[in-house]
Amino acid sequence: MVEHENKQLKIPDDFKLLDGEKIYKFHSFKFNPSILRPSSLNEIYRLTDAANEKEVGTNGPAIAALSSELHSIRHANQGLYSVIFGRDSLRVAIDLVSHYPKLAKVTIQKLAELQGTTHDDAREEEPGRIPHEVRLATDPIAIRLTKERGWGWPYYGSVDATPEFIRTLSAYCKLSEENINFLSQQYVDRDGNNRTIAEALINAVDWMLKRMNNNPQGLLEYKSVLEHGIENQVWKDSWDAYHHSDGAIANHEQGVAAIEVQTVSHDALLDAADLYDTAIISKCEEATLLRQKAKSLAKNIIDIFWTDDKGGYFVIGTDRDNDGKLRQLKIRTSNMGHVFNSRVLDSEEYADKRLAVLNQLKSPEMLSVSGIRTLASDEVRYREGAYHNGSVWIWDTHHIAKGARRYANNPEFEAFANDLDDRIINVVNSIGEFPEYVRGGDSITVNTRIIDVYDNKANRINRVEQPPQEVQAWTVAAILATKWRNNR
């Protein structure tokens, strides 16, 4: 590793500084791509502590990431995520549910055991909430985060893990009539009480409804209660990912709502309603109310998050001014593509919006050689190596392809999904591992440096570029699911 002292620093030729920023420090690394074809099967075994295919799901959920056995890049940030993350483990489970149903089952049960039972600000725990990051308080990383940020453990600072929990449970139960009986399975909660999976489902739904019912627009917003909690409690969780078209950061002193959280919440309400109708739960009146709530949310998604600018697209989200007035965060991001993977746009009355989003995603500003950019290349904060502001995440592109394929009656959507499949397979084969993300430029490359800038406007250091985790679980799951679908 090479570290350059501040007095020697200069702006790298391919790096863009924004107004009010200056280079603070950077480290550079050497990348040695593997000459071996990476094995998604071997990596899913490692991530789930399985010796073979039959053991996947026997020893617990998938952890979020691992270092490569080939050690292609070594830096201090490798190995940070070798624990259960609610969102990540659920995404892996639902992507692989048809081949590894046991993995979905064990993931649901483990997260039910960890589901919030009380209010605790240090953990951001709330009754019914699914945890974001699961560590023992004695874990060295947990000790550091507690000291630096005041977090308690497990840490619950995620707004999307709870609806994802409902969706994954539903996906498992829909595999067979026999799987519905899983709702009756017992477990022991955090307080030592015997519960059933059905109760975990109801608690998760109640958490969502409480949040939505307390919101003026019925949205599922987030706002950390901790001074140093995660500002953006969604998958794009870097602090600068949610911003306005002029680059101004979203107002985290008020609630922020992400477009993809609303769409997954919409589907979670519908999925929960179906499960409420089963004989095991038998809450038919409540099921009707959940469907009505989903219908109302779908209308609000269209009314609040759609803009006709630039041909029409769904904005990344909303924030509020200091008086609580709702504002669109009007930037083009990959998040708009997540709407395909929900039932919000299924009505033919929205065919024009589906096509508008497709055209946005196919535009040269959004589509790179590696897949869909997290942020369009003509946006103010775009940098091709930025964590959530220009890079390409393989799982994100896979998720969009999976959603586009839902509209395969239109050959244009099918062709687009197939093209995205080819791009992410090519990325993994070119890199020789399963990276967290790759750069969003015109070639398939990973970051080989850490660049910190000092942002004078925000009065903080911002890490805008760093090498990715080498083996990311939802990258592995995305590639494995793609290969199974294409019989590769």
Question: Mean pLDDT of all residues in the chain?
Answer: 94
Residue 28's DSSP bridge partners are: 2, 449
Q: Which whole number is the average pLDDT over 223-233?
A: 96
Tokens 């951001």 identify what position?
124
Return the percentage of the chain with pLDDT > 70, whole number: 95
Q: Which whole number is the average pLDDT over 55-69?
A: 94
Q: In the prediction, which pLDDT does 11 show?
A: 75
Domain boundaries, the chain: 2-486
Q: In the prediction, which pLDDT does 305 show?
A: 98
Give the strand pairing for 194-196 and 186-188: antiparallel
C-alpha span between 392 and 122 (Å, rounded): 33
Q: Which whole number is the average pLDDT over 288-311?
A: 98
Q: How confident is the model at residue 2 (pLDDT cuts 50, 70, 90)?
A: very low
Give the pLDDT confidence of 430-481 residue by residue, as tens digits.
998 999 999 999 999 999 999 999 999 999 999 999 999 999 999 999 999 9
Q: In the prediction, which pLDDT does 76 show?
A: 62
Lowest mean pLDDT among 74-88, 245-259, 400-414: 74-88
Lowest mean pLDDT among 8-22, 95-109, 401-415: 8-22
Residue 109 near residue 187, CB atoms below 8 Å:
yes
Q: How confident is the model at residue 70 (pLDDT cuts 50, 70, 90)?
A: low
Q: Is the pLDDT of residue 389 over 60?
A: yes
Give the pLDDT confidence of 19-43 residue by residue, as tens digits.
999 999 888 887 776 666 789 999 9
Name the nearest CA neighbour of 357 among 325, 332, 378, 379: 332
Amino acid at 319: D
C-alpha span between 125 and 158 (Å, rounded): 10
Q: Which whole number is the average pLDDT over 83-103?
A: 98
Tokens 């002292």 identify what position?
5
Architecture of domain 2-486: Alpha/alpha barrel (1.50)
Residues whose CB falls within 8 Å of the CB of residue 306, separated by 6 or more in sequence, listed in order: 312, 313, 314, 315, 353
C-alpha span between 260 and 396 (Å, rounded): 11
Give the pLDDT confidence of 324-350 residue by residue, as tens digits.
999 999 999 999 999 999 999 999 999
C-alpha span between 157 and 174 (Å, rounded): 29
C-alpha span between 52 and 45 (Å, rounded): 6
Q: In the prediction, which pLDDT does 71 show?
A: 57
C-alpha span between 366 and 219 (Å, rounded): 27
Q: In the prediction, which pLDDT does 111 show?
A: 98
Q: How confident is the model at residue 5 (pLDDT cuts 50, 70, 90)?
A: very low
Residue 223 near residue 294, CB atoms below 8 Å:
no
pTM over 0.75: yes
Q: Is the pLDDT of residue 1 over 60?
A: no
Burial of 140 (0-12, 13-18, 19+ CB in 10 A): exposed
Q: In the prediction, which pLDDT does 3 show?
A: 38
User: Quick one: tokens of 208?
Assistant: 């969502």
Q: In the prediction, which pLDDT does 29 show?
A: 81
Q: Which whole number is the average pLDDT over 400-422?
A: 96
Return the percentage of the chain with pLDDT > 90, whole number: 90
Q: How confident is the model at residue 86 (pLDDT cuts 50, 70, 90)?
A: very high
Q: Is the pLDDT of residue 170 over 90?
A: yes
C-alpha span between 294 and 300 (Å, rounded): 10
3-state secondary structure the chain: CEEECHHHCCCCCCCCCCCCEEEEEEEECCCCCCCCCCCHHHHHHHHCCCCCHHHCCCCCCCCCEECCCCCCCCCCCCCCCCCCEHHHHHHHHHHCCCCCHHHHHHHHHHHHHHCCCCCECCCCECCCCCCCECCCCCCHHHHHHHHHHCCCCCECCCCCHHHHHHHHHHHHHCCCCHHHHHHHCEEECCCCCEEEHHHHHHHHHHHHHHHHHCCCCCCCCECCCCCCCCCCCCCCCCCCCCECCCCCECCCCCCEEEHHHHHHHHHHHHHHHHHHCCCCCCCHHHHHHHHHHHHHHHHHHHHHHEECHHHCEECCEEEECCCCCEEEECCCEHHHHHHHHCCCCCCHHHHHHHHHHHHHHHCCCCEECCEEECECCCCCCCCCCCCCCCCECHHHHHHHHHHHHHHCCCHHHHHHHHHHHHHHHHHHHHHCCECCCECCCCCCCCCCEEEEEEECCCCEEEEEECCCCCEEHHHHHHHHHHHHHHCC
Q: Which whole number is the average pLDDT over 104-126?
A: 98
